[in-house]
Amino acid sequence: MQIICNGQRRDLAEDTTLAAMLAMLDLDPNTVVAEVNRKIIERDQYEDLRLRDGDRIELIRFVGGG
């Protein structure tokens, strides 16, 4: 299936969860806010949310610094 993540087309296996996609991207789910089809997803739903063909995902990372 194909999704759009932060403006880039990506091919994923069917039934890929949001958590699995974050792991593929080497992103810590605790430092990412995810929006799927313009809806912010709660972190406790990352493991259960199965992505679908055509989904649009925006990922925002928090970066600390000083």
Span 1-8, mean pLDDT? Answer: 98
Q: How far is CA 54 from the centre of its chain?
A: 13
pLDDT band at 8, cuts 50/70/90?
very high
Residue-by-residue DSSP string for 2-55:
EEEETTEEEE--TT-BHHHHHHHTT--GGGEEEEETTEEEPGGGTTT-B--TT-
Question: Alpha-carbon distance 3 to 10, whole Å?
Answer: 5
**Which tens digits make up the pLDDT trace of 12-63?**
999 999 999 999 999 999 999 999 999 999 999 999 999 999 999 999 987 7
Domains in the chain (CATH in brackets) are: 2-61 (3.10.20.30)
